[in-house]
Structure 1
């Protein structure tokens, strides 16, 4: 309110539906999406309390596909001025710089094919296509057991696989699981910052270690490599093998790398490419054609 005259707009990003990194807080349940309307209504009320004019628009972002879906938001006195941000639909335009294979993938998606996850080394939740790359990270985290460095509590059994003679104590059930993973080819156990071990193949271990060593410091702090932009250049925490090098993955995605092995950001409405008749027979619009379509309400 102290500088309201400089405020051009306020963006509300739906953290359950927006693509890429989003603002889901620790107080919110990633598995329990909330209706954006009450949240935006409350945002407008807060803005009014601060003396901010209704002429300053709230920009609704995340889950926006067609304006006809938002008829009850437009010219609504509870909400004041409203604008809409389209992030996913412009990916599938002739001018979009993403590879053709990525565009083709967008037109094949089904509901549920975009995953809200927390594997990003930023520590934030983000949404991306649930391809083999993300599925492998899900599976890696599932192959995870807590440990103690000495016998304590229910950690009564010494781990005898994946740790090459190091002393780790686990539960009997986790020992059984670890032996099963080892027998399936996941023969290396890597420590995480949370006093757990994840089981990976030797090939995965080599890639993880190389990517961590090759860290170029693209983030102010990185969970995957433990890099931090500080005097010590370290977060002080163990590098986390449950994450990945986001710089490497995004570079490969946009420069023709294997789309099954890299991160593909998209919003949760991306499945509508396959359902929307506008994209029938593989039609890819120009940006102008897309804008004209959006202005029809579709």
Structure 2
């Protein structure tokens, strides 16, 4: 049984709605509760694999040969990224060396609807800024939403609160002139180039992810729609993962900065672990040997 720590593992994480994304919990009592539940089903000797946040095994000494936990193993997902056999682009490997603590964080922009752990680069910063330039609107004048505002080329009328109209006008003055509707009856404000990119990505949807937030495609007939508007606050995950995984040539650094880079929250330790000093990149065999020392 794999226990993937929802705060420390890289990529998409199974953080529930009852858990605080900003408040990591100690994995030990959670894994102990898992073992106790497993023992209720006679699974005393089934190994539990700890995944997420594992860097040095010596930091997990109290887990190993612990009769309370039973048999355990450990999964390494981030450290093998920086090996000679790793297929990720060279620019990705070099970027890992520059990370500092806090540079990998949980975000909820993914079209899956799940939290994911990724490098805080220009890609994520643009998504964050996109969501911050957001106001609620109403199709009809109601409550404080009584100020008319025209959306799109046809200037179709919606209604904003007076203070939100001021925000919208300020964003427009900064060049964010395109208002895009979200499924939550809000408008986000982006540049014309960004709006064209978002619409093009949505039009090019390959249907890779049923119930995708960024498109309204669903694998379920007869309409093959999830019944929601496509959400411009998200992104095409197929496009960005292809781009970041296959970057080559002189623009690799720019590709790394402007696409989704998954990583465990411990990825910053590449810059502090002496094993990687002086630009050393181990083979997978050398990494395994190092791990077996406890470091």
TM-score interval for Structure 1 and Structure 2 normalised by the shorter chain: over 0.9
TM-score, length-scaled by structure 2: 0.95
Q: Deviation per CA, 1:107-161, whole angstroms, max 9, x where unpaired?
A: 0000111120111111111111111001100110111111111111121322357
Match of 2:131 in 1: 141
> Runs of 5+ in structure 1 lacking a partner?
1-9
Match of 2:171 in 1: 181
Task: Determine if contact 1:162/1:182 at 8 Å carries over to the other structure.
Answer: no
1:242 maps onto 2:233 in alignment: yes
1:17 is aligned, of 8, 12, 15, to: 8
Give the stretch that moved more between structures: 40-49 or 168-177. Answer: 168-177
Deviation at 1:165, TM superposition (A): 2.3
1:168 is aligned, of 128, 133, 158, to: 158
Task: Determine if contact 1:162/1:199 at 8 Å carries over to the other structure.
Answer: no
TM-score, length-scaled by structure 1: 0.94
Equivalent residues in 2 for 1:67-146, closer than 5 Å: 67-146=57-136
Deviation at 1:260, TM superposition (A): 1.3
Match of 2:53 in 1: 63
SS in 1 for 2:256: coil
CA 164–111 in structure 1, closer or farther in 2 if over 3 Å, else same: farther
Match of 2:260 in 1: 263
1:38 maps onto 2:29 in alignment: yes
Aligned length: 288
SS in 1 for 2:257: coil
SS in 1 for 2:170: helix
Provide the aligned C-alpha RMSD in A.
Answer: 1.2
Match of 1:6 in 2: none
Deviation at 1:65, TM superposition (A): 0.6
Deviation at 1:163, TM superposition (A): 7.1
